[in-house]
A and B are shown apart, each in its own frame.
Chain A
Amino acid sequence: MKVEDVVCPFCGCLCDDLVVEVEGTRVVSVENGCTLANEKFLGDNRLTSPIRRAGGAWQQVSYEEAIEETAAILLDADRPLLYGWSGTHGEAQSIGVHLGELLGALIDNTSTVCHGPSIMAIQEVGHPGCTLGQVKNRADVVVYWGTNPIDAHPRHMSRYTTFADGFFLTDAFLERKVIVVDVRKSESANIADEFVKIEPGGDYAVLAALRAIVRGKRSLIPSFVSGVSREQLFRVADTLLGAKFGAIFFGLGLTMSRGRYKNVRNAIELTAELNRHTKWTISPMRGHWNVYGSNEVFTWISGYPYAVDFARGIAFYNPGETTSVDVLRRGECDACLVVASDPGAHFPRACAEHLARIPTVQIDPHVNATTHLARLQIPVAVTGIDAEGTAYRMDGVPIRTRKLFTGRYPSDTDVLMKIYDRVKEEKGHG
């Protein structure tokens, strides 16, 4: 059976034009997908049943036992951390936040090690963004700053920018100018019209220089700013000012390097400066599938987008204090529920060591690095393949993903609802 208009469950692009062929409970082919989509749909490395670590060995347990034990671990903890959430659908994220509130837990999503600093910058100065459809149809200048879409978002350029014809750009490849700014000459830099190579940690200074030029202060610019020549800065600024509609996309090159959220703030303020002259927008390249959705769901329930601490009985948010890496580094949490992410692979070693010390439970379809650190893992269906639900694209557009077949795994929502009900019963609210 061929299913059309399938939504990809890998990156924040949420490409919704895939054609997937299914035989029984197996995906056998994928059309229109990138390499990442093909691997996601055709991958077969599912954990087959819940597992529990007993001493130095692993044993299979039933879903009922695993759910009961998870609820007991969370109820027994003084400072539980509920982490992850980006690889699942909004309905499951919503149960997670309610579970966090019921437990007085700290709940955080993967933006904490991704675009968390972008959110901090947006909270300071706002977000002049737009949908990807606007970019596709209107943008004649596109800037990729600290991001390498060819590897991380492989169809971004072909669906929305460099190679995508739009309403006002009928020959996009020739009419659109693409500028890549990075510390290394990435694959994306190779196909850009202009590549700006910055010294590591120099983004803030280069953004500040561009802001000065846009404000008419060219005489203040020294011969080189963080490795970029004055001549190139003038040329880039002229291109930005000459755009009819410009779009900046930025990545972890800004959020993870020196300056963090101040880099992003400066990029947003450059966008604001440019809007005194022409039309510009700026958007983060959200990486982990429904991470944008986790920010939305957390915010509409708690008021905060990530790193939400319910320990005081109310929602409290303070990045640097209530963020997962800091809480794990301080050895503060005494239990962890990991849902739809892999902190064992993607957190610094000191955090992985603490996850191994405390009872860590993982709800995830696959065996990953966190599996080795966990006490318990509960396999679930993959949203967008054998579970359905709502996810948000990187530009904030919610898209309903579909279930391609009914498999033997429960969804994240099924498992989390049972854990929530069990905790609620024990807390006396049943």
Chain B
Amino acid sequence: MSFILNTGRTIRQGSYVERKNTPAYREEASTLYMHEVDMLDREIESGDHVRVESTQGAVVMRVLPAAWLSRGEVFVCLGPYANHLVGAETHCTGMPDFKDTPVNITPTDAPLVSVADLMEQCGGVRYEG
């Protein structure tokens, strides 16, 4: 795996947290922040879609540059997109590896999926969105 996925609150994620089936929430929760030099290395432009894959699964995200990250680290706000990649192992603490998930990232032309799509992949039935 080539990157470490870190997750956390962003104010935009918090703003849309009670409208999770809206395009605004989807846009924020599926944004992956990456160091500019890593983007250059992988020939990824700002706004490009990438396939992010961990040992748990894969999900399409949109990349934005972030000078505030170190190389080799990527950041996604907490939510169903990041959690599609995070494993449920808690190392006997109750807490999964929300800040420490190894991922592979490859450019893709695939579209972003909605929260309802992700929940359907988990076995749910879409109510809206």
Contacts and interface: CB of A to CB of B under 8 A. Distances in A.
Contacts of A324: 94
A325 B90 contact: yes
Interface residues of B, number: 56
Given A45-B19, A112-B94, A152-B9, A329 B123 contact: no
A275 interface: no
A328 interface: yes
B9 A349 contact: no
Interface stretch (A17-25, A251-259, A402-410, A419-427): A251-259
Interface string B82-116: 01111111111111111110000000000000011
A117 B95 contact: yes
B46 interface: no
Interface string B1-25: 0001010111100111111111000
Nearest to B116: A372
A151 B10 contact: yes
Nearest to B86: A348
11 contacts: A39-B14, A39-B18, A113-B95, A186-B68, A199-B70, A256-B98, A323-B94, A350-B87, A352-B124, A372-B120, A373-B119
B43 interface: no
A184 interface: yes
Contact of B14 (A152, A200, A326): A152
Interface in A302-327: 307, 319-321, 323-326
Interface of B: 4, 6, 8-11, 14-22, 56-57, 67-70, 73, 75, 78-80, 83-100, 115-116, 118-120, 122-128
A40 interface: yes
Contacts, number: 197
A346 interface: yes
A40 B11 CA distance: 13
A345 B91 CA distance: 21
A356 B124 contact: yes
Majority DSSP secondary structure for residues of B touching A: loop
Contacts of A355: 122
Contact of A346 (B14, B83, B91, B128): B83
Nearest to B19: A45
Nearest to A306: B94
A284 interface: no
A368 B6 contact: no
A184 B19 contact: no
A344 B118 CA distance: 10
Contacts of A225: none
Contact of B83 (A53, A197, A348, A365): A348
A281 interface: no
Contacts of A11: 14
A372 B127 contact: yes
Contacts of B125: 53, 56-58, 372
A45 B86 CA distance: 28
A96 interface: no
Interface in A140-173: 148, 150-152, 154
